[in-house]
Structure 1
């Protein structure tokens, strides 16, 4: 039976401010995370709206709540700005394609892998030359997760959560790991989700489960006291100098510096 090697751990990566003049190129092992604190961009929504195409504008208008509409405008526009920085494409002309599991990609630049996740006040974007998936979750006080455990975790994972000092944080840690991994695979959530590994350490994963023979890494990280994230990507090479996280500046002057000059 073919198997993939999967390594899972925590990362102490911390977000640093994105600086102007940064060179937007990717080495083979680079894994870049961009962190967006959405409330900081509320005053820029009119400017960011201009980067959306007609399809995205229609989608924005379908949001019932204004706060959700504004969040979408912000993270979609910033995603396109970042993609423009790496591809040198005009931002307005960037159209996302989607695979059968609705994972976005750029047909014009198949070497550029990216993924996005958002929850409440934060959105995060992962960029790499490797297949990558990312997930973020708000640690909700009201969410009752106990009844869900048998459906999404195996016995060992359930015991880890039940015996943890902070059950809620442990639940979200394991959940985001699974979610980021299936997003990286382009697999989506299905009946096999509970069998996707999420505990620390090395795992051998059967081809029949993930339909993939590559090796993988998954890392958990904290964004703030109430937000946990996880990122999954191909390969088992060391990533200490290649995994970076930047916070997106909230002025149009700084954002416009990311846009390639034609």
Structure 2
């Protein structure tokens, strides 16, 4: 067997995904965070009727503000600006840097990335009024979806799920909740590896349990965990990470995080 074949076999032997429900999610106040957790998830409620907004110029570069301003809908503009600002603030606290000094780069599929020497990985997602950010010492991916009973998800089931997953979604009259459970798991994983929603999406395992990766199409190695959790009763979410199971910390961010320390 040639060297390439050996490498492929090794990748298959070493690759696995465990999908599960995170047992206990306790949302802590963001002010209790020490910014040293191996993995942390932050949630932020972005109200559409927000009147008093932060000084974006003190938090973002000009191109980031302009990018957010290109959205036609006001709620989309706010989500973009808040997400990017929160990302800079949190990374600044994890790395002891001024938020504006942080160098954010674009990885695969425009996934925000940090320089390797900082030792942290980031990912963000938003849906409806909620923004989620994940920070970890290894690669992470996060997704959140507002559970919409009237969403025609049956249109995407044939191309996004394998037969066993389709059976699970359609069983017991809980199709909507189960669809979002599996979808967020898949999307969190592809965001973690930077592959995006493409022709390999349906091959990402999402049913609860242990899965040996036998396909090379995903181009991924190592042991992965995908944890499901709820942001609120109407928002389903998942986080994927490339490391052994760890105790994830969950925090709720309030608008006070945008207030300069000397004015709190």
TM-score with structure 2 length normalisation? Answer: 0.88
Partner SS, residue 169 of structure 1: helix
Query: Could you tell me which residue of structure 1 aligns to residue 170 of structure 2?
Result: 162
* CA distance in structure 2 between the aligned counterparts of 1:79 and 1:102, rounded to whole angstroms: 15
Q: Deviations over 1:147-198 (max 9, x none)?
A: 2111000000000001133110100000000000111111111111111100
* CA distance in structure 1 between the aligned counterparts of 2:144 and 2:172, rounded to whole angstroms: 21
Query: Could you tell me which residue of structure 1 aligns to residue 4 of structure 2?
Result: none
Q: Are 1:231 and 2:231 counterparts? A: no
1:44 deviation in Å? 4.3
Of 96, 103, 107, which residue of structure 1 is paired with 2:115? Answer: 107
Of 197, 200, 213, which residue of structure 1 is paired with 2:221? Answer: 213
1:252 deviation in Å? 4.7
Query: Could you tell me which residue of structure 2 aligns to residue 16 of structure 1?
Result: 28
Q: Deviations over 1:178-222 (max 9, x none)?
A: 000111111111111111100000000125032122100000000
Query: Could you tell me which residue of structure 1 aligns to residue 198 of structure 2?
Result: 190
* CA distance in structure 1 between the aligned counterparts of 2:116 and 2:241, rounded to whole angstroms: 21
Partner SS, residue 108 of structure 2: coil
Partner SS, residue 206 of structure 1: coil
Partner SS, residue 91 of structure 2: helix
Of 129, 134, 138, which residue of structure 1 is paired with 2:142? Answer: 134
Residues 83 and 148 of structure 1, relative CA distance in 2, 3 Å threshold? same
1:107 deviation in Å? 2.3
TM-score with structure 1 length normalisation? Answer: 0.88
Partner SS, residue 83 of structure 2: helix
Query: Could you tell me which residue of structure 1 aligns to residue 6 of structure 2?
Result: none
Q: Deviations over 1:92-117 (max 9, x none)?
A: 22242011321111226452101000
Q: Are 1:248 and 2:260 counterparts? A: no
Residues 234 and 182 of structure 1, relative CA distance in 2, 3 Å threshold? same
Moved more, 107-116 or 35-44: 35-44
Query: Could you tell me which residue of structure 2 aligns to residue 58 of structure 1?
Result: 66
Q: Deviations over 1:80-131 (max 9, x none)?
A: 1001001112112224201132111122645210100000100000000011
Partner SS, residue 82 of structure 2: helix
CA contact (8 A) 1:41 1:250 kept: no
CA contact (8 A) 2:140 2:192 kept: yes
Alignment root-mean-square deviation, CA: 1.9
CA contact (8 A) 2:92 2:99 kept: yes
Shift >4 Å, 4+ stretches = none
Of 13, 16, 37, which residue of structure 2 is paired with 1:5? Answer: 16
Number of residue equivalences? 249
Moved more, 208-217 or 113-122: 208-217
Query: Could you tell me which residue of structure 2 aligns to residue 260 of structure 1?
Result: none
